[in-house]
Structure formats: C-alpha cells, structure tokens
Amino acid sequence: MDLNRHEAFAGLAEALEPLTQVAALREAHRCLYCYDAPCTHACPTHIDIPGFIKKIATGNLLGSAQTILEANLLGATCARVCPVQELCEGACVLGPSHHPISIGRLQRHSMDYVSEHGIQVLQAGPATGKTVAVIGAGPAGLSCAGELARNGHAVTIFEKRELSGGLSTYGIISLREPVEVALGEVKMIQQLGVTFSTGVELGRNLQLDELQEDFDMIVLSVGLGRSPHLGIPGEEHILDGLEYVEDSKIATEKMTVGKEVIVIGAGNTAIDCATIARRLGAEKVTVVYRRTAKEMTAYPHEYEFAKQEGIEFRFLAQPVQVALEDDRIVGLLCTKMQLSAPDSSGRSSTVPLPESEFFIPADQIVKAIGQQKPALAQMLGLETRNGYISVDHEFETSIPDLFAIGDCIRSQGDASTVMAVQDGKMAAQALHERLNANNERGA
Ligand SMILES: Cc1cc2nc3c(=O)[nH]c(=O)nc-3n(C[C@H](O)[C@H](O)[C@H](O)COP(=O)(O)OP(=O)(O)OC[C@H]3O[C@@H](n4cnc5c(N)ncnc54)[C@H](O)[C@@H]3O)c2cc1C
Ligand code: SF4
C-alpha cells in the first residue's frame, strides 16, 4: 500500500512538532521527581514517569525508552494520542498555575529516539512451546501479543485488514498520529517474534474451532464496528465518519471534501471529521448534536480546538431527513429538541419541539455517532454486557480459554488506546500464569 500521500493531505500533518534536544532537557529538569508520583498513578499503564524523565535529564534516552516500554509497549502511540490533560499531566503536582510537565511530549522524545535509531529495545523470552492466537491487531492485541512474546510464548495475530495497528493506523487523525508511527510499533512487535497473518477474519475465512485445534489459548481484541444507523430518509447518502477519517489517512489521492459539510455527532470522532473537512478545504463545517455542549462526549479541549478551527455547532438539533436534489445532497432537515429527564446513561434525554423543523444547507454529510457493538459476540454465542463481550477478572469470556480485551469489552467508561494497551498487558500476565500452570501440570 502506497502511504506517500503527504502532499494531498498536507493540512493534516502531525500537529505538534517534536521537542528539540534542548527543549526536552529543559522540560525534564523542571520535573520535581515526586515520590509515589500522582502522574504514574493517573497513567492507566502506570509508567514510571519520574523515572523516564530523570533518564532524559541525564541524557540516557535509550534507558528512558526502556522504562516506558516496560510498562507500555505502545509508548509511541500513547505519547501522541493520550488525553494527557485528563490523565498523567492532569495529575502533575505543578498544576495549571505552574504549567504541568509535558509528559506526553517527553515520552514521544524518548520513543522517537529509539525509532529513529532503529533500536529494538525489548527482546523475546526463551521459548516455552506454548501457542496463543490473538484476533485483531489493534492496540489491545499488539500489547497482549508483545507481552506474551516477551514471556517466550509463540503468538500469531490474525488481522482482517491489509494493515495492522487497528484504529491507530486507520482511525486516529494524522494531526495526532501519522500512520507511520502506528506501523513502526507493529514492526517492533514483529521483531519480538510475533507472527502476523493479515487479510484473515475470524467468522469469515477463519473459524473458532480451527483456532481451538491449533492454539493453547485465544484472545479476542476485535474492537467495535462501523457507525450505527440513524434511521432517517436519505441516510444512504451520508458518509461513515470512520471511513472519512480512514480516507484522510490511507487514501492515495486527495479525498472529496464538500464545501459545506455537516457532521452529525458530538464525540471525539465527530470533532476529528469536522477538523478533517475544515483543514482539507470545506468553507463551512457544522456539527449537529441533539443535546447541548454540556452533554458532549468529546473532551473539552477538543471542543475548544474545534471552535478555534472555525467549526460551528448546532446544539439541540435532531436530523430528520437528508434533503436531495437530483440525487445530490443539498442539506439536512432537522428538528429542534429540548432537554428532558436523564436516560439510562445518566445524560439528559431529549424531546422534539413541535413544528420546529429547520434546514441547514450542505453538500456533504458525515455521521460520527459512535461504533456498533462487536458482532462477533453474537456469532460465537458469547455472554455479553450491554452488547459488549463479558469477561471475568482474568479477561476470560464465557467460553473457556477464550479471552477478550480492549474496546470490545469496554461496557463502561471511555474507550482509549492506553486502556486497550493496559488490558493487553494484564491479560498477557493472566495467560502467562495459566500457561505456566498448565505446563507444570503437563497439560
Ligand atoms: C475516530 C477515532 C479516534 C480516536 N482517537 C483517540 C485518541 O485520540 N486517543 C485515544 O486514546 N483513543 C482514541 N480512540 C479510541 C482508540 O482508538 C481505541 O480505544 C483503541 O484503538 C482500541 O483498541 P482495540 O485494539 O481494542 O481496537 P481497534 O483499534 O479497533 O482494533 C481492532 C482490530 O481488530 C480487527 N478485527 C476486527 N474484527 C476482526 C475479526 N473478526 N478477525 C480479525 N480481525 C478483526 C480490526 O480490523 C482492528 O485492526 C479513537 C477512536 C476512534 C474511532
Ligand atoms: S501512556 Fe499516556 S497517560 Fe501514560 S504517561 Fe504516557 S502519555 Fe501519560
């Protein structure tokens, strides 16, 4: 696949410049190296943050990268995509008044160093003779596979797409993470001895019983599906938000962006789609959401960023029909809503205001209203919770020796890359103990 699309997508190049050596040293020396550091507690993968920053301050970038990778194999991705304001940097004792340490950017500095120098920091453990199949090469699967390989187990990842990396490759806007960073991590996991089999989809050209025959244990890290249906007339003309982001990352030619674009939804994906449209030339971009700014699931800093990009927001607006002329989109009919009693998610529900329909002109409409629950759960007859795969405290599903991790089990809380990485690490530990115990029993 040709990834040389920088000219076409110049407006979407990685937004944050890398820190220079001097800037990184200066920032590292600002760290107070707290004992029992709150930032380390706030990081879902519990990276020893003062430890890796101290190594940057003493010029030991390889040691710093090693400290990061010991806790989080996808340190390069997380350094770029983590909502640091809500996590490590949000917990920094320097606080907003003294400007928290730029932990994410320092982490990227160390990870870039080993990547640019082609250094494989971690190695595979001595072979145990045990085999594990991991289904899905997103952050959860990569983390789990890499940790298992470090413990000497033979791991094969089966991935349905052409490229591995999951949403880091296909779904996270290049402004935050270029494709090359995600693929660099895939290569690093490969160098740990993990085998990748791409273009293979469980449920299509691979079946569970074949895997159960060939592997000691199986891990599902299949993420979630495409955007759900809105159920409005003309929906077939609306673009899927995930495909919109994907085109902006992977397509070899400049994607088609409308002049007046409407994005339906109010999560981080909606903000990403709106940003892509704006940066790639749309004159007007409007985000349409049926609740208010208070109920948006996008991070507050993302909302602020979008407003600075000139993106408009129409709150309390429910799409009811795509307006077409000669089969081309000319706009979106909406109805005004008002907030009502909270629903099962705890957020205010909405009710339409009678006779309040209004029209927003547009030549392109994108929906970014979340992702469908994992279809595989039903196909395999797995127990579920709110449509997500149910697992116990060791990540085992209702089928013995079949585990699940990442977005496909996240029935509560925000799904994020760093949470998926931590699931992968914890599950690998549980599997390793189980495989060792089986070894001792001679199973
Ligand atoms: C548009 C968008 C932007 C995001 N931005 C951020 C961000 O900035 N920061 C952040 O922390 N998080 C972000 N997230 C969330 C983050 O990307 C996910 O939480 C994370 O990727 C979950 O990892 P995963 O491995 O569980 O799933 P995924 O990344 O979805 O990977 C699942 C993999 O499994 C494969 N697969 C699925 N079914 C099968 C099958 N049957 N057989 C074989 N392979 C299969 C898929 O092709 C995919 O490669 C974003 C999500 C989206 C949608
Ligand atoms: S992995 Fe994410 S949350 Fe953890 S220290 Fe790095 S940037 Fe912060």
For ligand 2, atom 8: residue with the closest CA: 88
Q: Is the CB of 140 under 6 A from ligand 1?
A: yes
Residue of 74, 211, 222 to test ligand 1 pocket, by largest number of atoms within 8 Å of CB: 222
pLDDT at residue 4 in the model: 47
For ligand 1, atom 13: residue with the closest CA: 416
Best CA proximity match to 255, nearest among 236, 230, 237, 281: 281
pLDDT at residue 8 in the model: 57
Q: Which residues are within 8 A (CB) of 76 and not within 5 positions of it... i.e. 6 or more apart?
A: 108, 111, 112, 115, 181, 184, 185
Indicate which atom in ligand 1 lies nearest the CA of residue 415. 19
- At what angle are helices 139-150 and 417-441 packed, to 10 degrees? 40
- Distance, in Å, from the CA atom of 169 to the CA atom of 166, rounded to the nearest integer, reads 6
Q: Is the CB of 176 under 6 A from ligand 1?
A: yes
Q: Is the CB of 160 under 6 A from ligand 1?
A: yes
Residue ranges in the chain modelled with pLDDT below 70? 1-11, 252, 441-443
Is the pTM above the cut of 0.75? Answer: yes
- Distance, in Å, from the CA atom of 256 to the CA atom of 69, rounded to the nearest integer, reads 39
Q: Which residues lie with the beta carbon below 6 Å from any ligand 2 atom?
A: 43, 45, 47, 49, 72, 78-79, 82, 84, 87-88, 103-104, 107, 418
pLDDT at residue 40 in the model: 98
pLDDT digits (tens, 9 = 90+) for 279-319: 999 999 999 999 999 999 888 888 999 999 999 999 999 99
Q: Is the CB of 112 under 6 A from ligand 1?
A: no
pLDDT digits (tens, 9 = 90+) for 245-277: 999 998 767 789 999 999 999 998 999 999 999
HSE-up (13 A, CA, CB side) for residue 2? 7
pLDDT at residue 281 in the model: 92
Best CA proximity match to 55, nearest among 46, 38, 67, 72: 67
pLDDT at residue 10 in the model: 62
Alpha-carbon radius of gyration of the chain: 23
pLDDT at residue 271 in the model: 95
